[in-house]
Amino acid sequence: MSFVQGLKCRECKREYPIAPLHVCEDCFGPLEVEYDYDGIRQSVSREKIASRAHNLWRYRELLPIEEEPRVGLYSGFTPLIRARRLGEALGVEEIYLKDDSVNHPTFSYKDRVVSVAISKAIEFGYETVSCASTGNLANSVSAHAASAGLNCYVFIPEGLEEGKIVGSAIYGPRTIAIKGTYDDVNRLCSEIGDKYQWAFVNVNLRPYYSEGAKTHAFEVAEQLGWKLPRHIVVGSAGGTILPKLAKGFKELREVGLVGRDEPCSIYSAQAAGCSPIIDALKKGTDVVDPVKPNTIATSIAIGNPADGYYVIQAVKESGGWGENVTDDEILDGIKLLASTEGIFTEPAGGTEIAVTRKLIEQGRIPRDESIVVSITGNGYKTIETVAHIIDRPYSIDAALGTFDALYDELSQGSSEKARAG
Amino acid sequence: MSVRVRVPTPLRKFTQGSDEVDANGATVSAMLDDLEQNHPGIKERIMDENGKVRRFVNVYVNGDDIRFLKNVDTALKDGDSISIVPAIAGGM
């Protein structure tokens, strides 16, 4: 059974029935799913959750679907990794990685929100699904649409990495590349969504879609033995995930799955080339002025974040903070994660690592308290971004003597001569 | 200045269901006043009581966010195309 009560405007509190609506007619505020938390508290338990399959639907009492889930049966429940070597490098005692770079099926946190949105789209009877995307979302919508047999249109900005383009196209959607930035894609999709009767997962299905992001928080808590980390760092693009982590933690306290007073400070990570939220945070305002993005971190290059205001609210309420890092620091973050933990993340993940390092060095995050870093995307989709910072293969003839000579050179550290390309 | 305004679904009850209407005004601000004359009630949905565009509304002139221009003082010329768009989630 479902515990969903309806939709409610976050700003003016006007209530709406469950429908493909995302904006309050009165004040344009975003609509939010409301639940019967008393009912959930009586129905849910740690044991009940533990008995269910390892996917994001194990928290279904706190997700906005009425029928059985239709997609995402292998999505979520990504590893939470105790990162000892990264911890040593950063000089902290207890750090974990919530690794959504291996989320099923398209290797980013987006498989969470899309699982919920597409299940909801099927409940509403849509035959065509769509999205405005910086890449990962388009990948996930395309894959889930294929598995559900739905028509699919995805809209992306021109100039995305090849891995992100192919990573949608292979599933057979119509991919439309817009000449402009993500913010241009967004504006167009809002107008297309008004005209065409499609399920736009991050437009008219946004209230349902964004609820899927809470499962990232639920899993972190469950994997820590139903405890909250003292600190969690996550990237901010449009600003969906961070406020939803806050909501997820709050719900866990509310329904008694974690202790009522467990604190968790939340930190926002952005690229210096696109950090409207961090700029506002540092200025001490909650008015997020849009910027023109210029960063290698394409998946978080959103200059006009819809939920930026709520990111700032959630950061402040939780006692957290935020930082931005340069493209060079992002590349260092990618390399650091790869070389210490064997995890290859995209620039958004490099941003999350680099910002964590910066906040630790600033003393914002204490070295002796538990930290989770959310790794939201996979580096195999953005290989061109790091192509210039890796060691190219040594190209040699298939002769033992040649290798012996190379090995001698490598052992002595003078390796440049034999290197190819 | 006569401009074309695209009206999002939540505001169409003020425009008898039209998704596009004409309006006049030398600036965005004047255009919104004119819009209000012909479609009473629409302006307060777009602007707050201090005359600022509401937090969750974006206004575009020929595809450019007015916050990159001169906000509500942005000058308009004949034939400009105005979009009023609710904020949208996405990214990452």
**Distance between CA atoms of A257 and A46, rounded to whole angstroms?**
7
The predicted pLDDT at position A415 comes to 47
Instruction: Please check whether residue A289 touches B, CB under 8 A.
Output: yes
How many helices (H) and strands (E) are present in chain A, helices listed first? 16, 13
pTM listed for this prediction: 0.94
More confident residue, A314 or B63: A314
In a domain, A410, yes or no: no
Please give, rounded to a whole number of angstroms, the shortest distance from the CA of A372 to a CA of chain B. 18
Measured between CA atoms, the residue of chain B closest to residue A28 is B56
Buried b (16+ CB within 10 A) or exposed e, A19-41: ebbbbbbebbbbbbbbbebeebe
Judged by CB atoms closer than 8 Å, whether chains meet at B19 and A300 is answered as no
Task: Give the domain range for residue A249.
Answer: 80-106+211-386
* Within-domain flag for B31: yes
CB nearest to A202's CB, from B57, B60, B90: B90
Number of compact structural domains in chain A: 1
CB A183 within 8 A of CB A304: yes
Residue-number span of the structural domain to which B69 is assigned: 2-86
Q: How far is B33 from chain A (nearest CA, A)?
A: 18
Q: Has residue B91 been placed in a domain? A: no
Collect all residues of chain B within an 8 Å Cβ-Cβ radius of residue A30: 56, 87
Tell whether the model's pLDDT for residue B87 goes beyond 90.
no
Smallest Cβ distance to B90: which of A27, A137, A348? A137
* Amino acid code (one letter) for A121: A
- Put simply, the chain A residues between 135 and 154 with a CB less than 8 A from any chain B CB are 136-137
pLDDT of residue B10: 87
Q: Which residues of chain A have pLDDT under 70?
A: 413-421
B57 assigned to some structural domain: yes
Has residue B74 been placed in a domain? yes
Name the nearest CA neighbour of A220 among A209, A230, A208, A235. Answer: A230
Asked, for residue B92, whether it belongs to a domain, the answer is no
- Run of H or E including A293: none
The tally of CA atoms less than 13 A away on the side-chain side of residue A103 is 35
Q: Which of residues 166-205 of A touch B (CB under 8 A)?
A: 180, 182-184, 186-187, 189-191, 194-195, 202-203
Q: What angle do CA A33, A229, A4 make, to 5 degrees?
A: 15
Contacting residues of A for B65, CB less than 8 Å apart = 183, 290, 304
The crossing angle, in degrees rounded to 10, of helices A241-254 and A308-318 is: 50
Q: What is the Cα A392 distance to its own chain's centre?
A: 30
pLDDT of residue A332: 98
Angle of helix A241-254 relative to helix A214-223, nearest 10 degrees, comes to 50
pLDDT of residue B1: 81
CATH code at position B32: 3.10.20.30
A27–B45 C-beta distance less than 8 A: yes
- Please say if the pLDDT value at position B91 is more than 70: no
Domains contained in chain B, number: 1
Three-state DSSP string of chain B:
CEEEEECCHHHHHHCCCCCEEEEECCEHHHHHHHHHHHCCCCHHHHECCCCCECCCEEEEECCEEHHHCCHHHCECCCCCEEEEEECCCCCC
Q: Is the dihedral of CA A297, A298, A302, A308 positive or negative?
A: negative
- At residue A32, what is the residue type? E
User: Residue A154's closest CA among A163, A377, A162, A143?
Assistant: A143
Low-confidence winner among A85-89, A171-175, B48-52, B87-91 (lowest mean pLDDT):
B87-91
CATH of the domain at A374: 3.40.50.1100
Q: Which pLDDT does position A26 carry in this prediction?
A: 86
Distance CA A144, CA A259 (A): 35
Burial class of residue A367, CB neighbours in 10 A (0-12, 13-18, 19+): middle
Question: What is the Cβ-side half-sphere exposure of residue A23, based on CA atoms within 13 angstroms?
Answer: 29
Quick one: angle between helices A136-148 and A162-169, nearest 10?
10
Examine residue A7 and state whether it is found in any structural domain, yes or no: no
